[in-house]
Amino acid sequence: MRKSLTLPVLLLVVLFVTACTTTHWVNTGGYWLESVNTPDHIANPFLTEKGVYVDDSLTIKMEMWDDGFDLHIKNLGKESFLIRWDQCSYTDEMGTTHKVMHMKNRHLLSGATVKGGAVCDDFLAPAETQDNGGYDELTPLWRIHSYKSKAEAEAARPDSSSVSVTLALEKGGYIDDYIFTFAGEDYQTSKVEVLDEKKALNAYNISLVLLFLSYIIPAILLSN
């Protein structure tokens, strides 16, 4: 009896979980590093053919992926500087600015110190602030703007666009903003299945009840 009830219940659980997703449409495109803007006092800034930013004090390589940015910084000087994660930001193709989170420290405290001659490797992505002062999980860049219909997404799709990351570096008591701008093109409209958290919670609760009953009912029947 127990096996005969458990299998149907497990099938129901799978159906419940499957029903917890909703269809959304998103626009994706290819991006490449187009330019880096720095304060006027930065000496000899330039961008190499391989997409590496270089000046007299540091080198920065930033690569864009579907869900964030690989970051590689090397301090060429002797004086340490601080990456001020709390003042870094991401601006999407709609011009909306988001806070960022990075993989090594998701609570974005004071920052990360890069000593003279040292290297810092990290990964950053947009994040939304929660009431408790923490930060949400990583949000894929191409899901920041999603639409309920394909037609709506296609109408909002730009022919070309750009996104940017502002990297705030503190040295000698001053904070400099390095703005990395990525140009985009070749947009495509794609369908994605997004988890509906309310439906998922209800399905989870129902699944627990069904699993509980699948063991209790056979036990009662066997006792009789």
Provide the sign of the torsion angle of the four alpha carbons 109, 98, 56, 71, taken in this order.
Answer: positive
Q: What is the pLDDT of residues 73-97, one digit of tens each?
A: 999 999 999 999 889 999 998 889 9
**pLDDT tens per residue, range 103-150:** 765 444 446 889 999 999 998 888 764 433 444 556 678 878 889 899
Per-domain residue ranges for the chain? 1-20+196-224, 28-190
- The pLDDT confidence band at residue 199, using thresholds 50, 70 and 90, is low
Q: How far is CA 72 from the centre of its chain?
A: 18
Q: What distances in angstroms separate CA 31 from CA 68, 80, 81, 186, one per listed residue? A: 12, 32, 29, 9
